[in-house]
Amino acid sequence: KVEGDSMIGSGSFEGDLIVIDRSLNPVHNNIVVAVIDNDFTVKRLWLKDKIELRPENPDYQPITLSGEVDMRIWGVVTAVVRKF
């Protein structure tokens, strides 16, 4: 279930349900669920000049991944379900 508004530009909003496929290998520009220091987050995966998790809301900053960050990709988002 989506909490927060960091991905509103991708069409996922607070309260939406996201469908995650853990069998897919994440690639550049996928929207992924990542675990950073035991906290789950949904962001766009950027794998070009640097590795980042990018929000889809200009009010938030990207998370640049480095050796100090404990991060793993938990799955690739494949769909969003919205309840009206």
Measured distance CA(37)–CA(43) in Å, rounded: 15
Annotated catalytic residue 48: no
Sign of CA dihedral 52, 53, 57, 60: negative
In the set 10, 43, 48, 50, the catalytic residue is 43
Stated as kind and residue range, the H or E segment containing 75 is strand 71-81
Whole-prediction pTM: 0.89
In the set 1, 6, 48, 50, the catalytic residue is 6
Secondary structure (DSSP) of 12-51? --TT-EEEEETTSPP-TT-EEEEEETTEEEEEEEE-SSS-
Q: Hey, what CATH topology would domain 8-81 get?
A: Umud Fragment, subunit A (2.10.109)
Per-residue pLDDT reduced to its tens digit, 43-82: 999 998 889 999 999 999 999 887 777 789 999 999 999 9
Annotated catalytic residue 6: yes
